[in-house]
Structure 1
């Protein structure tokens, strides 16, 4: 790219960014349009109108940007980082429009009509989305797969909005940029740059477009299977009509496999109080925490040994086993043994997989139990999956790097030092690079976590301890969605805005955010 070149009168750097963000918004507008049809199918005409208006506004902005700057150069790494950061931010802002417009277009009487018969509360949670910050919070939580919510009583929302929450998490779990690349990009168009900008490295095929399309095929297939299994579990364990069981199975399958955690019930999975439903969800959440290339290898070759052969998957199972045992022992102090095992198993899997489904009143747990859960949310599952957190591979690389640094002390300077991470053999220079990258991202992640928890501890009421605030920020930044009760429409607006930023940072793993902020101050030139 020539320095100083322009496209349609603006610098080529900005044109590249604007065009590709426009592509993201075009995809989002299509999803909104499809959701408007869902609203019509449910007879929720006011909500359908809100989605139509939101889709039109998003289409206009995205279409103008993409068409005006269609000849802009392909993105480089610096562009990809800014596109990811700004794109996810704008996707969340435009994704808030259906909540905001629905809340303003529907009359109080119409909003009240969505409250389930016999409910113990009087107002619909739709009222909270008249506040634009609440709408943006819900949208950011959806797209990033976080699952924290401003909807106090989810069943009081129109079904179209419940569908939109699930759809955002389902698409966002794999990645809105990944979806855009799979639909709009062509080989040689900077697809790999965009793919990497969304904190992804793994390839299934040499072609990135082929890779992301295969990822989506796997994801859709798993989702259909999860819907069927959950539907059967709900019919067996719950007094639900088949249509209602299908609706709840659809939404919970989408948000569990995407490790998002939004629910259509009033108290997440605790609503069911069903060991069968919880047991069925355990493998679904775990599937979402395993890298897509491993799924592809198993599905293609029918070789289940790949699960244990893969470093991240092997450690995922080890951490799940150890974490469940430790958390169960910790909860023995508060709950009966069988209930401790059941709740600890479900909640630890939910935390480490970054799903955020809740089956137990975590706010009543001891500080020790909250700290164990916070640690799981900070680490997360495998890189290349749908999870948030630091990722297992980074944690493993840091531990191996520390051991490697100590071992070098006892070797002569001329010694040829190599080490293995999984099936990769690294020389000294490669190991130093891997270790430094993992350490830098993890250190920044933890510093932002600690800083956010300190800020939040000064913005919440006296009923919450520091363990509660650390848990809440870890949940937001890890894109998990479990809560001790801090998050809600009555929380401090500064705290709410901070958690929006935490969710945004956590989804993109910090570096794209820093590049974006740097570009706002100094531009994209070196």
Structure 2
């Protein structure tokens, strides 16, 4: 086996230890609520992950740094494998818990439902198989919230902090669709600062919820899922029954999660208010939010202002929490939410979607083309971003990358909607199918009622695939799919080179 491939598999083994660590961190919940039946499934996940990880670790000994392509593949597989190991607590607890005690727990006795819930959690989506999350054990309520919290910051961000992988840290960081780095500092310093911000904001969110009157258990879980822009709740009606004060607080927390960590860093660590206010992503995010809120207020005045703002924020921040039954919404306001879900949060945040940075670059590219028509004597129309004039090459690259992602997203959304419509038949309207497809692909979690345990099995697999694709912004999965061809081509090229050397 080639050294680079052996190194790649060895790093897979290292990553497979992560579920064991997550299981250990879940022990306090099991002990606090005396849910001893959950020990076996969590221990099983830990043993299987450690056993498999150790097997890979000792079978493959190479320590050579791998290529950029293999780093992207590692990230894509890491998200998939962690989600698959995350199935074990759902399925295991459904089989070991006392029968008849937890009304919703039998849902997870169906393996595909457990898989769906795990993928939804780790991708930070929030679509669920449950009608009432309060009717499952506390250990599973925690596991759903904890998986979304980890998914919000990223599996590779966790691995880069705790594990010494043989992949270049910068490549892995970028492969997880993150590009900002602290200037003149190693990428590990960036990762550490992001973790400090994330943990600090999480603790603040939990405390704010608690002091606003939310019971501690709900504050703990919602503090993680709202900031992680996940969308899982531990109540029967998400945020419907909470006070206006708590809803307003949640809007603030969702916005914090949707803003890029770079922007938080400028404010928290550098106290640079001037640069903070110049961030283009921030401008576009609030423009989209305010514009959508005003539009919703105009076309759907029957709903309260706080609920309209809450749903607009939840859709744009790709959080998935709700205060209303979206299945009862008219088509026009629901379509506004579809647009917001596709627009998405800032790049480099906990949110999903196409990301505001790409729409910013795309808009600037269009404006640049218009300026070139009116001022043809200018060889390159100037473009500013974050208050700085960008070099022509950097500008063109960013515009091209934005166009590529937009194209892939539209194609995936189109095919996803088509195949989901084939799966569910005529039981739902087109806009409901489009809504839930966009929600899965953008890792949002809002639903019009289509997604649930009663949907066809192939529809569950399709939405799970879309959640995985959306979390990695599609390109990483494309690279994973075509990688065997490139690896084969590379191997053939090496053999030809060796043969040529021997002949000479």
| TM-score, scaled relative to structure 2 | 0.93
Q: Distance in 1 between matches of 2:455 and 2:295?
A: 32
- What residue ranges of structure 2 are gaps of 5+ in the alignment? 491-504
- Please tell me whether the aligned partners of residues 377 and 480 of structure 1 are also in contact (alpha carbons under 8 angstroms): yes
The number of residues matched between the two structures is: 489
> Counterparts in 2 of 1:149-160, with a 5 A limit?
149-160=128-139
Counterpart selection for 2:124 from 145, 153, 177 = 145
Aligned residue for 1:297?
266
- Please tell me whether the aligned partners of residues 38 and 139 of structure 2 are also in contact (alpha carbons under 8 angstroms): yes
Is residue 81 of structure 1 aligned with residue 72 of structure 2?
Answer: yes
Counterpart selection for 1:315 from 273, 284, 289 = 284
Aligned residue for 2:453?
489
Structure 1 residue 522 displacement after superposition = 4.8
Aligned residue for 2:233?
263
Counterpart selection for 1:190 from 168, 176, 182 = 168
Aligned residue for 1:18?
9
SS at match of 1:269: coil
Q: Distance in 2 between matches of 1:172 and 1:449?
A: 22
The 10-residue stretch of structure 1 (477-486 or 71-80) with the greater mean CA deviation from structure 2: 71-80
> Which of structure 1's runs of 4+ aligned residues deviate more than 4 A?
410-414
Counterpart selection for 1:480 from 444, 457, 473 = 444
SS at match of 2:71: helix
SS at match of 1:282: helix
Aligned residue for 1:45?
36
Counterpart selection for 2:178 from 184, 200, 205 = 200
Is residue 92 of structure 1 aligned with residue 83 of structure 2?
Answer: yes
- Please tell me whether the aligned partners of residues 17 and 82 of structure 1 are also in contact (alpha carbons under 8 angstroms): no
Is residue 386 of structure 1 aligned with residue 350 of structure 2?
Answer: yes
SS at match of 1:226: helix
The 10-residue stretch of structure 1 (249-258 or 24-33) with the greater mean CA deviation from structure 2: 24-33
Q: Distance in 2 between matches of 1:228 and 1:63?
A: 39
CA shift digits 1:136-171 (9 cap, x unpaired): 111110001000011222111111111111111111
Q: Distance in 2 between matches of 1:313 and 1:412?
A: 31
- What residue ranges of structure 1 are gaps of 5+ in the alignment? 1-9, 115-123, 236-244
Is residue 27 of structure 1 aligned with residue 18 of structure 2?
Answer: yes
- Please tell me whether the aligned partners of residues 121 and 144 of structure 2 are also in contact (alpha carbons under 8 angstroms): yes
- Please tell me whether the aligned partners of residues 125 and 444 of structure 2 are also in contact (alpha carbons under 8 angstroms): yes
- Please tell me whether the aligned partners of residues 223 and 254 of structure 1 are also in contact (alpha carbons under 8 angstroms): yes
SS at match of 1:523: helix
> Counterparts in 2 of 1:96-111, with a 5 A limit?
96-106=87-97, 110-111=98-99
Q: Distance in 1 between matches of 2:294 and 2:61?
A: 55
The 10-residue stretch of structure 1 (261-270 or 421-430) with the greater mean CA deviation from structure 2: 421-430
The 1:68–1:211 alpha-carbon spacing in structure 2 relative to 1, beyond 3 Å, is farther
Q: Distance in 2 between matches of 1:201 and 1:83?
A: 17
- Please tell me whether the aligned partners of residues 475 and 481 of structure 1 are also in contact (alpha carbons under 8 angstroms): yes
SS at match of 1:358: coil
The 10-residue stretch of structure 1 (213-222 or 427-436) with the greater mean CA deviation from structure 2: 427-436
The 10-residue stretch of structure 1 (516-525 or 311-320) with the greater mean CA deviation from structure 2: 516-525
Structure 1 residue 509 displacement after superposition = 0.6
- Please tell me whether the aligned partners of residues 289 and 387 of structure 1 are also in contact (alpha carbons under 8 angstroms): yes
- Please tell me whether the aligned partners of residues 331 and 340 of structure 1 are also in contact (alpha carbons under 8 angstroms): no
Aligned residue for 1:343?
307
Aligned residue for 1:170?
149
Q: Distance in 1 between matches of 2:8 and 2:89?
A: 25
The 1:190–1:301 alpha-carbon spacing in structure 2 relative to 1, beyond 3 Å, is closer
SS at match of 1:199: coil
The 10-residue stretch of structure 1 (461-470 or 370-379) with the greater mean CA deviation from structure 2: 461-470
Counterpart selection for 2:160 from 178, 181, 189 = 181
Structure 1 residue 39 displacement after superposition = 1.4
> Counterparts in 2 of 1:124-523, with a 5 A limit?
124-185=103-164, 190-204=168-182, 206-235=185-214, 245-270=215-240, 272-332=241-301, 335=302, 339-412=303-376, 415-460=379-424, 462-523=426-487
The 10-residue stretch of structure 1 (286-295 or 514-523) with the greater mean CA deviation from structure 2: 514-523
Q: Distance in 1 between matches of 2:63 and 2:48?
A: 23
Structure 1 residue 257 displacement after superposition = 0.4
Structure 1 residue 74 displacement after superposition = 1.9
Structure 1 residue 128 displacement after superposition = 1.5
SS at match of 1:87: helix
Q: Distance in 2 between matches of 1:82 and 1:422?
A: 31
SS at match of 2:389: strand
